[in-house]
Amino acid sequence: MGLRANIDTARRRWRWVVGLSLAGVLVAAALVSTSAPTYRASASVFFSLDFGGSASDLVQGSTYAQNQVTSFAALATTPAVLQSVVDELDPGSTATALATRVSAQAPTDTVLVEVTATDGSAAGAARIANAVAESLGRQVEALAPTGADGEPNIEATTVTPAEAPASAATPRVVLTLVAGLLVGLLLGIGCAFARETLDNRVRDVAALARVTPLPVLGLIGRRRAGDGRPVVVEAAPLDPQAEFYRQLRTNLGFLEVSAEREPGDRRLSVIAVTSSVPGEGKSTVTANLAAALAEGGARVLLVDADLRRPTQAAMLGLEGAAGLTTVLRGGAELADVVQDWGSSGLQVLASGACPPNPGELLSSPAMGRFLTQQRAAWDFVVIDTPPLLPVADAAILSRLVDGTLVVANARLVRRHQLAEALTGLAQVGAHQLGIVLNMVDREDSAYDYRTDRLPGQARRRPWRRRPRAVPPTAAARHAPPTRVLARDEVPAPRGAPSRSAR
């Protein structure tokens, strides 16, 4: 994946990244709030060797002390040193328990041992560190060899006594929160890319190209939340969403022009619109496509041939009791049940009463005669059909129409579902016009070219200060006021009296 693909993935899956980042911060905040504060104090012990008075003796003594100081640091956490501290400060505890709160280290090339103690109080940490340093010095002097006078050769001196720290060592609030944010961010990015890898939806044109070589005739952007206008071409003709359907209409026109036909072949006048699974928005696409075709001046008949779940009548606010099924069984003529809708002269034929045998009715000779008659009477007949995978109605109708459009919802349909639906159409010999990719993530502002959305006006804020008026010049201040001409008065040339003055 390239950089652009990674950015697109992060943009699509931003909820994972943001959600897990916030979760990491919340977990870190919970740890900080529930953790008891601990304080840390340190004391330094200096070890010197009394080994003669010559220079060579002093060098040997210093070298010996440096070699032994690491052992002195390890000695600080042994019961031999800590037991006396326990007896002095906390008789109820043990040397083993105190060892978990004490550490000692010897800096390289020094004869110092730094003793660090941790406790729940600042004063307690300082007392423990000082007590362990004194006990370590006594224990080292007791274990060191003695000289001729019976005194130990090693002397321990606490050079830096421990002081009560001003702030707690743990928890480190800022560091913990930042660590939680980073961990959550990494988890969010990982989950986002894992979800993208496992997602087999037809998200974009690139994913669609891996399923079928059919052309993409339309990219319909995702509708804004709360937009209750299904036929946006009629309700909001200047909306960017309406332009998506006009582009689909234009692409259909070019598809018809570019098609190579033999003499006598039918043109693309009867078009069926279907989808792979329910809920992909095929009925909305069908109604908007029919409205866009009618807007262009064509005579268009919209037919609701979804005899199982008809939606066109309810969506367009029309009467749906009589319609296609009424005409097919001979109960009425088309002119009696067709309904006018919109301002562009679109004619709508509802589904009528749902029959018990929709498949047999759509494959009947009456349906074939009906389409033949309407092909000659209308410029375009746009048919809303059921989805392909649940029922066979759309596959049956695809053999009777001039071409079939397949709507693929970028947020719903899976690649294997679309491939299976297209394979079913190919097996019955249907003429597949192409794919309409619906609910695509497109930024409406990038496709908005209305005159009331000029680049300089689109970002204007109502609270922005208006530009200050330029003061008039001296000549303008002393000039006579401008007189409004009457309707039939012609302005006189400069320097000549007007008609009213004459």
Could you please report the per-residue DSSP string of 353-388?
Answer: SPPS-HHHHHTSHHHHHHHHHHHHH-SEEEEE---T
Nearest-CA neighbor of 324 among 300, 308, 346?
308
Helical (H) or strand (E) element with 43 = strand 39-49
Contact 217, 248 (CB under 8 A): yes
pLDDT value at position 59?
A: 58
Residue 404 carries which side chain, given as an amino acid letter? T
pLDDT digits (tens, 9 = 90+) for 352-386: 999 999 999 999 999 999 999 999 999 999 999 99
* Integer Cα distance of 423 and 402 in angstroms: 18
Q: Is the pLDDT of residue 493 over 50?
A: no
Q: State mean pLDDT over 402-424.
A: 94
Q: Which residue has the higher pLDDT, 382 or 493?
A: 382
CATH architecture of 39-160: 2-Layer Sandwich (3.30)
pLDDT value at position 197?
A: 77
DSSP 170: B
**Would you place residue 223 in the very low, low, confident or very high pLDDT band (cuts 50, 70, 90)?**
confident
Percent of the chain with pLDDT over 90: 56
Residue matched to tokens 């550490």 = 103
Residue 194 carries which side chain, given as an amino acid letter? A
Cα→Cα distances 498→60, 442, 478, 481, 492, Å? 123, 61, 21, 15, 5
pTM of the model: 0.62
Q: State mean pLDDT over 164-181.
A: 91
Which of these ranges, 65-74, 341-350, 462-471, has the smallest mean pLDDT? 462-471
Max CA pair span of the chain: 141
Contact 117, 135 (CB under 8 A): no
Nearest-CA neighbor of 204 among 437, 478, 501?
437
Q: Which residue has the higher pLDDT, 405 or 1?
A: 405
Helix boundaries (H) for 35-164: 55-75, 79-89, 95-99, 122-143
**Would you place residue 52 in the very low, low, confident or very high pLDDT band (cuts 50, 70, 90)?**
low
**Would you place residue 111 in the very low, low, confident or very high pLDDT band (cuts 50, 70, 90)?**
confident
The first and second tokens of residue 201, run together, are 């939806």
pLDDT value at position 501?
A: 41
- For the domain covering 205-258+265-447, report its CATH number: 3.40.50.300
pLDDT value at position 150?
A: 61
For residue 242, the tally of other CB atoms under 10 A from its CB is 21
Nearest-CA neighbor of 189 among 1, 30, 409, 32?
1
**Would you place residue 70 in the very low, low, confident or very high pLDDT band (cuts 50, 70, 90)?**
confident
Q: Is the pLDDT of residue 7 over 90?
A: no
pLDDT value at position 61?
A: 60
Which of these ranges, 21-25, 359-363, 453-457, has the smallest mean pLDDT? 453-457
Q: State mean pLDDT over 72-97.
A: 90
The first and second tokens of residue 187, run together, are 């988890």
DSSP 266: P
**Would you place residue 57 in the very low, low, confident or very high pLDDT band (cuts 50, 70, 90)?**
low
Contact 380, 409 (CB under 8 A): no
Find the Cα–Cα–Cα–Cα dihedral 463, 464, 465, 467, rounded to 10°.
-140
Write down the domain spans for the chain: 3-35+171-198, 39-160, 205-258+265-447
Characterize 316-349 residue by residue with b for buried, 16 or more Cβ atoms within 10 angstroms of its Cβ, and e for exposed: bebebebbbbbbbeeeeebeebbbebbebebbbb
pLDDT value at position 110?
A: 84
pLDDT digits (tens, 9 = 90+) for 245-260: 999 999 998 876 555 4
Percent of the chain with pLDDT over 70: 80
Residue 443 carries which side chain, given as an amino acid letter? E
pLDDT value at position 1?
A: 53
Q: Is the pLDDT of residue 137 over 70?
A: yes
For the range 308-312, what are the long-range contacts, defined as Cβ-Cβ under 8 Å and sequence gap of 24 or more? 308/354, 308/358, 308/386, 308/391, 308/393, 309/278, 309/386, 310/350, 310/351, 310/354, 311/283, 311/384, 312/283, 312/286, 312/287, 312/348, 312/350, 312/351, 312/384
**Would you place residue 491 in the very low, low, confident or very high pLDDT band (cuts 50, 70, 90)?**
very low
Pairing of strands 154-160, 270-275: unpaired
Nearest-CA neighbor of 170 among 133, 128, 125?
125
3-state SS, residue 189: helix
Q: Which residue has the higher pLDDT, 50 or 76?
A: 76
Q: Is the pLDDT of residue 263 over 60?
A: no
Mean pLDDT, the chain, whole residue set: 83
pLDDT value at position 124?
A: 92
Helix boundaries (H) for 331-473: 334-337, 358-362, 365-377, 393-398, 415-427, 455-458
pLDDT value at position 258?
A: 54
Q: Which residue has the higher pLDDT, 473 or 206?
A: 206
Which residues fall within 8 angstroms of residue 394, CB to CB, at 6 or more apart?
272, 274, 385, 386, 387, 388, 404
Q: Which residue has the higher pLDDT, 13 or 324?
A: 324
Contact 31, 175 (CB under 8 A): no
Nearest-CA neighbor of 69 among 102, 122, 125, 107?
107
Which of these ranges, 31-45, 147-161, 383-397, has the smallest mean pLDDT? 147-161
Residue 481 carries which side chain, given as an amino acid letter? P
* Integer Cα distance of 501 and 329 in angstroms: 83
Cα→Cα distances 55→62, 228, 376, Å? 11, 98, 121
Q: State mean pLDDT over 297-314.
A: 94
